[in-house]
Amino acid sequence: MRRILSVIAPVLALAIAVPALAAEHEAKLYTPKGGWSFQGPLGSFDQGSLQRGYKVYREVCSSCHAMNLLSFRNLGEKYGPFYDEKFPNPADNPFVKTLAHDQEAPAIKGINEETGDVEDRPGLPSDRFPDPFPNEYAAKASTGGYVPPDLSLIVKAREGGANYIYSILTGFVEAPSDVTVPDKLYYNQSFPSHFLGMKPPLADNKVSFDDGTPSTIRQQAKDVTTFLAWASEPKQTERKRLGLWVMAYLIGMALLAYGSYRRVWKNVH
């Protein structure tokens, strides 16, 4: 018994120690305080968070990251950030109209319907979100060689989803003393290689929230991630509600079938 133990013990110790050593600089993911409003079968996007999140995207992220799959009108669709039941057609929603009209984009060209000339025109709800850079080279030149990815589907495109995005945004910490961070890269505890070509984009009070929510880095990160999760799957709330109705219907039908079975076979022994 002693001999077996003396063989097993070091092996066991090694099996425990090796992952612990590897874990020292491991990229950990975090969930914000209070979790995500859109998680679970009953979850739905918190509209206040979506509105604050859009503001963070528009005022901070949109100077580098495109969201090519989104148009302004999407913001006013059901369960979207600025949905208002008075305006079932989002193109009529005055707030969405203002957002589209005030977009900071290079002049948009349109055809003058009276003269047929191509002229500058103001932004419309049907416009896509503007691209921050005319092309990839301009993007690289401005960010130090790294192309900021399009954020339309980023929450679906990364393992860890919303927790990953939130953790990246809140993960810019001082590099451990044994790590040298290469030039033009920034240490991030949650990025797999730890060296990210994005400067920490958020800071306390960088965005002012109209509803009085304290504008901390964590709050901005949580809200912009909620907005990006909605953008990746705008029909999620609808899908979950439909799922619940289908379940209720199936349970109802099962009870009915059982009841009629009992009744039909009542007198048979």
CA dihedral 4, 7, 8, 9 (to 10 degrees): 120
Comparison of 62 and 93: residue with beta carbon closer to ligand HEC: 62
Least distance (Å) between residue 130 CB and ligand HEC: 15
Contacts 24+ apart (CB under 8 A), 197-204: 197/143, 197/144, 197/145, 197/146, 198/64, 198/143, 198/146, 198/148, 200/172, 201/60, 201/61, 201/64, 201/169, 202/56, 202/60, 202/169
Least distance (Å) between residue 188 CB and ligand HEC: 9
Question: Which amino acid is present at 56?
Answer: V
Least distance (Å) between residue 140 CB and ligand HEC: 8
Least distance (Å) between residue 168 CB and ligand HEC: 5
Comparison of 206 and 240: residue with beta carbon closer to ligand HEC: 206
Comparison of 123 and 148: residue with beta carbon closer to ligand HEC: 148
Sign of CA dihedral 164, 167, 173, 176: negative
Comparison of 75 and 168: residue with beta carbon closer to ligand HEC: 168
**By the criterion CB under 6 A, which residues form the site for ligand HEC?**
56, 60-61, 63-65, 143, 146, 148-149, 154, 158, 165, 168-169, 196-199, 201-202, 224
CA distance 78 to 80: 5
Comparison of 131 and 238: residue with beta carbon closer to ligand HEC: 131
Q: How far apart are the first and last CA of the chain?
A: 65
Least distance (Å) between residue 148 CB and ligand HEC: 4
